[in-house]
Structure 1
Amino acid sequence: MDFRKTSYNRGIRNNNPGNIIYTKEAWQGKVPYEQNTDKNKHFEQFISVEYGLRALMKTAISYVQRHKRDTLNKFFASWAPPHENPTHKYVAAVSQQLSLAPDAPFPALTKDFLIKLAKAIAKQENAPDDSVIPESCYHTAYQMIGTFPYETEKKRK
Structure 2
Amino acid sequence: MDNKPTPRGVRNNNPGNIDRTAVVWQGEDRSPEALKWEHRFCVFLTPQAGFRALAKTLLTYQVKHGLRTVKEIINRWAPPVENNTSAYVAQVAREVGVGTAEIIRLDRQVTLQRLVTAIARHENGGLFWPGAVIEAGVREALS
Regarding TM over 0.5, the answer is yes
Unaligned ranges ≥5, structure 2:
none
Q: How far apart, CA to CA, are the structure 1 residues paired with 2:75 and 2:100?
A: 11
**One-letter identity of the residue aligned with 1:142:** V
Q: How far apart, CA to CA, are the structure 2 residues paired with 1:144 and 1:101?
A: 27
Q: How many residues align?
A: 139
**One-letter identity of the residue aligned with 1:135:** G
Distance 1:39 1:108, change over 3 A: closer
Q: How far apart, CA to CA, are the structure 2 residues paired with 1:122 and 1:43?
A: 14
2:135 alignment partner in structure 1: 139
Unaligned ranges ≥5, structure 1:
1-6, 148-157
1:16 alignment partner in structure 2: 14
Q: How far apart, CA to CA, are the structure 2 residues paired with 1:144 and 1:90?
A: 26
Could you state the TM-score of these two structures normalised by the residue count of structure 1? 0.82
Q: Would the aligned equivalents of 1:33 and 1:41 in 2 still touch at CA under 8 Å?
A: no
Tell me the C-alpha RMSD between the 2 structures: 1.6
Could you state the TM-score of these two structures normalised by the residue count of structure 2? 0.90
Query: Larger RCO: Structure 1 or Structure 2 (Cα < 8 Å, ≥ 6 residues apart)?
Result: 2
Are positions 1:123 and 2:121 aligned together?
A: yes
Are positions 1:68 and 2:60 aligned together?
A: no
Distance 1:39 1:89, change over 3 A: farther
Give the one of 39, 44, 47 matched to 2:45: 47
Q: Would the aligned equivalents of 2:62 and 2:106 in 1 still touch at CA under 8 Å?
A: no
**One-letter identity of the residue aligned with 1:144:** E
Shift in Å, 1:107: 3.0
* Moved segments of 4+, more than 3 Å: 37-40
Q: How far apart, CA to CA, are the structure 2 residues paired with 1:125 and 1:63?
A: 18
Distance 1:53 1:108, change over 3 A: closer
Distance 1:51 1:108, change over 3 A: closer
Shift in Å, 1:26: 1.8
Q: How far apart, CA to CA, are the structure 2 residues paired with 1:26 and 1:84?
A: 24
